[in-house]
Chains A and B, each alone.
Chain A
């Protein structure tokens, strides 16, 4: 009797794709790089604390970029920091994600005009997956952003989209 003919009726077996399992495992253990740049970092820490407890989503702060999946850019990115931030991003193992938290890292925030030392948006040096507006965003906003990031990981696939013929690849 083949495996496919067997009835899985004992309730302990779930059938899914390998991709689905891997994505599910990854989105439930997105480890973050633990560094903060300004006041947004306070809200980021509040998200880790008992009220919001972001750790229930499998978010662990890691001290090394080698062990991280996500970089939360929480705060004002100065030009001096931007060079270091880019290096940290390059040290992360793929797949890697960037969450831009707060107005400063989104677009320069209050320093957009006179901040000669501020990078006007962290997306000028690293690709950003999720932007969280706010100055600073509440922990709830960070959690919401995290849900959106999880959506992105959930839909991650190595398969090309349907309808794209092999010969059409650039």
Chain B
């Protein structure tokens, strides 16, 4: 049976009473501690009540307050409900456990988040840049990114 975000949150909070799960009402999503994301991801996918078997999108975010974020947009093909899960990590130590083995979609999405925002997904089997050249320095979608003057001898600024 399809659940709304409140029902899913209550269900998850019952499963993980020891974790600091938070329901964000402004943008309906569930905040999850970075260290637990892999366990929770498996639970979300395999639980009979949730069956969130499709990762629609995985995004990397620079929150501009010294933290980076990863946002997981999930959908249940079986039950038809959706869920947004967020993880927040400090900018100077942006490690998040990979969910690449939970949802195959996450493979390239995590590589993109690593490439552009610089979130490091621990346990990813092939974490390298996916869009930018391999010798690129820095993570361009971070707020503090500065465009290099030259790349391989080519002037970059206008």
Are B147 and A79 in contact (CB-based, < 8 A)? no
**In chain A, what residue has the closest Cβ to B133?**
A80
Identify A125's interface contact among B147, B154, B156, CB under 8 A.
B154
A19 to B133, CA, bound (A): 45
Residue of B nearest to A119 (CB): B154
Contacts A116-B140, A116-B147, A117-B132 given; indicate if A79 touches B152 (C-beta within 8 A).
Answer: yes
Contacts of A139 in B (CB 8 A): none
- Min distance, Cβ A120 to any Cβ of chain B, angstroms: 5
Residue A124, interface by CB 8 Å? yes
Known pairs A79-B151, A79-B152; A113 contacts B158 (CB<8 A): yes
Asked if A112 is an interface residue, CB under 8 A from chain B, the answer is: yes
User: Is A82's beta carbon under 8 Å from chain B?
Assistant: yes
Asked if B152 and A124 sit within 8 Å, CB to CB, the answer is: no
Contact B152 A83 (CB under 8 A): yes
Contact code string B128-158 (vs A, CB < 8 Å = 1, else 0): 0000110000001000010100011011111
- Report the minimal beta-carbon distance from B151 to chain A, rounded to whole angstroms: 5
Overall SS of chain B's interface: loop
57-95 of chain A: CB within 8 A of chain B:
79-80, 82-83
Determine the residue in chain A with the shortest Cβ distance to B140: A116
Which residue of chain B has its CB nearest to the CB of A118? B156
Q: Which residues of B contact A112 (CB under 8 A)?
A: 158
B105-141 contacts to A, CB under 8 A, are 132-133, 140
Contact yes or no, A124 B154, CB < 8 A? yes
Which residues of chain B have C-beta atoms less than 8 A from A107's C-beta? Answer: 158
Partner of B156, one of A79, A80, A83: A79
List chain A residues, Cβ under 8 A from B145: 116
Q: Which residue of A lies closest to B157 (CB)?
A: A120
Question: Which residues from chain A contact B155 at a C-beta distance below 8 Å?
Answer: 120, 124
A117 to B154, CA, bound (A): 11
Q: How far is the CB of A1 from chain B (nearest CB, A)?
A: 65
Q: How far is the CA of A124 from the CA of B145 in the complex (A)?
A: 24
By a CB distance below 8 angstroms, the chain A residues around B151 are: 79
Bound-state CA distance A125–B151 (Å) is: 12
Give chain A's interface residues, CB within 8 Å of chain B. 79-80, 82-83, 107-108, 112-113, 116-117, 119-120, 124-125
The 8 closest A-B pairs by CB, nearest first: A116-B147, A112-B158, A120-B158, A80-B133, A116-B140, A79-B151, A124-B154, A108-B158
Can you give 29 A-B contacts (C-beta < 8 A)? A79-B133, A79-B151, A79-B152, A79-B154, A79-B156, A80-B132, A80-B133, A82-B154, A83-B133, A83-B152, A107-B158, A108-B158, A112-B158, A113-B158, A116-B140, A116-B145, A116-B147, A116-B156, A117-B132, A117-B140, A119-B154, A119-B156, A120-B155, A120-B156, A120-B157, A120-B158, A124-B154, A124-B155, A125-B154
